[in-house]
């Protein structure tokens, strides 16, 4: 998504060689490496090789950097939630698409999703982001319930717990997946979907 320009129109433009996207990218790296609270604007300036005051040409505050970073993860995830479903699709098909799209966003926005997953809720902004994240849980639980009603999912599964387990599996990818590893993102996505809808047991074992 395009970066949101938070700089007042009367302010000076950013210094040559840097733009808001670059500053945000480096900031997120530092937030994930050291933690948001432990990352000062001075530390960010040192990493960028510019003065601390120069950063304010690009963004008003550290909190605004966090807001931009969290939106990079949450806005595309929320777009999946609010997308108009195919009226001819079944609940389990919508559930599968929801999981696939969530997985793809996680891979594409991995540093930003990592930051979202590590929030502690210490500030109003963090608590707001966590509330937005819980809405994703609610939507997934609704899809699980609907699929149970349609008879395509087991009815002995508690929907909210199932939603958390599904998200837990998908979110764990940020901690261990390597793009240069033996499994590409498409293969990993398919493995995850197969585990959810087909389980781990082999077809021979099920006979």
| Cβ count within 10 A of residue 203 | 7
pLDDT tens string 28-77 = 999 999 999 999 999 999 999 998 888 988 899 999 999 999 999 999 99
CA atoms within 13 A of residue 80's CA, in its CB half-sphere: 24
Residue 95 or residue 205, greater confidence: 95
The reported pTM is 0.85
- Domain spans of the chain, in order of start: 1-60, 69-206
Third-level CATH fold of 69-206: Tetracycline Repressor; domain 2 (1.10.357)
First vs last Cα of the chain: how many Å apart? 48
pLDDT bucket at 201, cuts 50 / 70 / 90: low
Give the CATH number of domain 1-60. 1.10.10.60
Given this chain, do its domains 1-60 and 69-206 carry the same CATH topology? no
């Amino acid at each position: 998504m395009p970066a949101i320009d938070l700089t007042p129109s009367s302010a000076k433009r950013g210094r040559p060689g840097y733009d808001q996207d670059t500053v945000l990218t480096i900031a997120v790296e530092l937030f994930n490496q050291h933690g948001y609270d432990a990352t000062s604007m001075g530390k960010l300036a040192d990493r960028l090789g510019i003065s601390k005051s120069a950063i304010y040409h690009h963004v008003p505050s550290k909190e605004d950097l966090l807001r931009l970073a969290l939106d990079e993860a949450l806005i595309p995830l929320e777009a999946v939630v609010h997308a108009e479903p195919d009226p001819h699709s079944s609940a389990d098909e919508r559930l599968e698409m929801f999981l696939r799209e969530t997985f793809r966003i996680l891979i594409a926005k991995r540093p930003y999703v990592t930051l979202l997953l590590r929030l502690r809720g210490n500030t109003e902004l963090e608590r707001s982001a966590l509330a937005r994240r819980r809405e994703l849980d609610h939507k997934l639980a609704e899809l699980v319930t609907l699929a149970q009603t349609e008879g395509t999912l087991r009815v002995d599964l508690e929907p909210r717990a199932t939603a958390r387990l599904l998200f837990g599996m998908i979110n764990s990818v940020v901690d261990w997946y390597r793009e240069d590893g033996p499994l590409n993102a498409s293969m990993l996505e398919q493995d995850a979907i197969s585990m959810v809808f087909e389980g781990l047991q082999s077809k021979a074992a099920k006979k």
